[in-house]
Amino acid sequence: MTSRRFQGGPLPWFEFSDLLVLLAWGSLLLKYWLTGELAVLLHPDYQWLSHSAAVVLLGLAGLQGWRLLTQMLQPPSRRPALAQHITLMPHRWSRGILLAVAVAGLIYSPRPFTSDTALQRGLTDTLSMTRSSRPQAFVRQAAPEERTIIDWVRTLNVYPEPDAYGGQAVDVIGFVIHPPEWPDSHLMIARFVLTCCAADAYPVGLAVRLPTGQALPAADTWLRVTGQMTTETLDGQRQLVVAPDRLRPVEEPANPYEY
């Protein structure tokens, strides 16, 4: 009985770097899948694309590893010629960048957007936005106390008359934003709406008038606000304002976005 001995010399470095890049990116997408962090980055309707990419990349990594192993067991004279590729930058740079980004993603966990991002993306326009990947949500019938923040905003888009909703019950969950032009007696309770991915997320919110003597909650605090709708002029505009019976701090939801 004879054993097969390793006969080949070292393979070019980039053969192994390709394997590392495939493994790193496949592992990153698999991590987002298994930990649920993908919900912070991608709309549920498109998450299957990321799941499929994770499977394909890890499969390609397995094939690349097997190919390298079989080549290492062959003498250099029998190894296939290396393919030549046209690239926009040196191989070391492109592979290094891909590997560095994947490693950074494995180390750091993505976080939901904050109130600063909401203010930067134009909070004053939230009540006029109607983008949605699910248009049927506009016509969904729900009792006022069952409406989410996005339900209220979409309802206003359909019939933008604030006085029509006075006295209706409110029970919503969102994070606190302090619009700089508003008085300290008011805040905005908001959520980000995701239409495709985090890059196109935009904020929607409702104005809240604090009860007398209520301290102003810190920005980005998650609250459950219960009360009823009223109307008042705020920042020179007649709009709906929640008159809360109770402001209760809550944990940040596992999925902080609306759709």
Query: Tens digit of pLDDT for each residue in 51-107?
Result: 999 999 999 988 888 887 777 676 666 655 555 555 555 667 777 888 888 888 888
Pairing of strands 202-209, 237-249: parallel
Of 171, 173, 181, 187, nearest in space to 115 by CA: 187
Q: What are phi and psi of 177, to 5 degrees?
A: -125, 140
Residue 209 and residue 186 in contact, taking contact as beta carbons nearer than 8 Å:
yes
Question: What's the chain's average pLDDT?
Answer: 79
- β-bridge partners, 209: 186
Give whichever of 8-12, 125-129, 246-250 has the largest mean pLDDT.
246-250
Q: What is the pLDDT of residues 5-19, one digit of tens each?
A: 434 445 555 667 888
| CATH T-level topology, domain 115-258 | OB fold (Dihydrolipoamide Acetyltransferase, E2P) (2.40.50)
pTM above 0.85, yes or no: no
- Distance set, CA 235 to CA 120, 164, 178, 186, 239 (Å): 18, 20, 13, 11, 10
Residue 134: which pLDDT band, with cuts at 50, 70 and 90?
very low
Residue 38: which pLDDT band, with cuts at 50, 70 and 90?
confident
